[in-house]
Each structure stands twice: as structure tokens, then as C-alpha cells.
Structure 1
Amino acid sequence: MANFMDIHHGMKGITQEQLKEAHQADLAIESQEGVHFARAWADPDSGDVFCLSEGPSAEAVQRVHERTGHPADEIHPVPLTV
């Protein structure tokens, strides 16, 4: 499995509750694509949301996000961690 960091733009003003709801929506169906969303962060001022996941491919990560109504604008592989 590979790690990915994805970025969503245009979510200016997102609240803690909205971030939690979006993350929970991903968690509810992630296993259908063999993905696990580990964590999500948001900056309400800029509207950027970041998600850290593990999965078989960036496409699998995107499919989950698309099905839950918030497709990622960018998905980056993260091959090195400490």
C-alpha cells in the first residue's frame, strides 16, 4: 500500500463539524476501494483541506472522494515517512 496526501481547494469557511462529516463519509466507504483515510486537516481561511490516506492508488483515493461528493483537486504520493 502507498501513502497519499490529497488537497481540496475552495472549502473556505469549512467548520470543524463539516470536516468531521466529510471525513466520516470517506471512512464509511473507504474499504470498498481498499483505501484508509488516516487523518484530515483544514484551513477555513484559505479553504484548503488536506487528507492523508493509504491505498492501492491515487485513483482509488479519488474514487472515494468523488463518491462522497468532495473530489480532490490534487493527490500526491508520499513515498517517504519517518
Structure 2
Amino acid sequence: MTEFMDVHRGMKGITGQQLQEAHKADLAIEGEERVHFKQAWADPDTGTVYCLSEAPSADAVQRIHERTGHPADEIHPVPLTV
């Protein structure tokens, strides 16, 4: 599985509770695409949200996000970590 970092924009003012609810929605159906969402971060001031996942493809990540109502603006593979 490949790790992916995805970026969502336009979520200005997002609260911790809203971020948690969005993450839980992804977790509820992630297995249908063999995706595992590991963590999410948000900056309410800029409206940027980041999600780290493991998945067979970026398309699989996007399908989950689309189904839960928050499609990603960008999805990047993360081939190296330290």
C-alpha cells in the first residue's frame, strides 16, 4: 500500500468536532476501497485540511472522500518518510 497526503481547501472555520465527524465518516466506509485514513489536520483560519492515508491508489482515496461529501482538491503519494 502507498501512503497519500490529500489536501482540502475551502473549509474555513472548520471546528475540531467537524473535522472529527468528517474523519469518522471516512473511517466508516474506508474498507470498501481498501483505504485506511490514519490522521487528519486542519487550519480553520485558512480552511485547509490535510489527511494522511494508506491506499491502493489516489483514486480510491478520492472515491471515499467524494462519497462522504468532502472531495480532495489534491492527492499526493508519499513515497519517502523519515
TM-score (norm 2): 0.99
Partner of 2:3: 3
Matched, 1:69 2:66: no
The aligned counterpart of 1:18 is: 18
Give RMSD over aligned pairs.
0.3
What residue number does 1:54 align with? 54
Structure 1 residue 81, shift from structure 2 partner: 1.2
- Runs of 4+ off more than 6 Å: none
Unaligned runs of 5+ in 1: none
How many angstroms apart in 1 are the aligned matches of 2:40 and 2:2? 17
Residue 65 of structure 2 aligns to which amino acid in structure 1? H
Identity %: 77
Which residue is 1:80 aligned to?
80
Residue 51 of structure 2 aligns with an amino acid whose one-letter code is: C
- The count of residues paired between Structure 1 and Structure 2 equals 82
| Matches of 1:26 and 1:54, distance apart in 2 | 13
